[in-house]
Amino acid sequence: MMMMTQAMLRAAVLVGCAAAAADLRITFAADAGNVTVCGDPTAVFDAATLPVVVDSVAQVGGYYTQNEPRVSWTVEDNEHDALFTLFMLDPDAFYCGKGVKIHWSVFNIPGDDLTSGDAVNPFAHPGPPETRYHRYLFLLHKQSAVLALSDDEKASLQLRTFFDYPAFCDAHSLGSPVAQAAIEAQLDAFVVQYYMESGVDLCSYPASCSP
């Protein structure tokens, strides 16, 4: 089986899975709100529910991906004792000097009970520091056994950046994802406000992280 290299991951948006175990369902939701930053006119956001469609890629502002999405998938009758891993990754953080970034990782999920899995990386909303869209990939793996992470592995994952997804999958025999989906998000007033609260000024709304 061909391994996915880091370059392939960065290039991938959505790849069909011949062995799809799941009807992967992902829905973001955000209440209406206003954001005023950088002396600009107030940005007004309507309330919205945004389902992520598996066979296409929606493009949205960061405001609409600020809350942890609802995620579920179909488990076959013979899979209720199966364990799954879910990743949400930003391969385009590479362009901002962060490598592949982990936004969410949950391991040892029994069946489709996401809340009972081991969340090593709690959900972190997209925050692309550039107006270029970043892709956020949801990757669901079926495990062959309980995944026991060492303390060093957990600490490395919790750094979130420079994640070597192919090497991790190979080391833990995760194989190819059984289902996947993607959404694209870009810098907006909400994301600018998020960075300002951390002391980072993005009022120039940079088009790109790269010089």
Cα separation of 72 and 60, whole Å? 21
Q: What is the CA radius of gyration of the chain?
A: 17
* pLDDT single digits (tens) 44-88: 999 999 999 877 788 999 999 999 999 999 888 777 789 999 999
Number of neighbouring beta carbons within 10 Å of residue 125: 21
| pTM: predicted TM-score of the whole model, two decimal places | 0.89
> Distance (Å, rounded) from C-alpha 59 to C-alpha 7?
22
Calpha distance 160→102 (Å, rounded):
5
Residues whose CB is less than 8 angstroms from the CB of residue 128 and which lie 6 or more positions away in sequence, other chains included: 62, 90, 92, 96, 134, 185, 186, 187, 191
Res. 111: pLDDT tops 70: yes
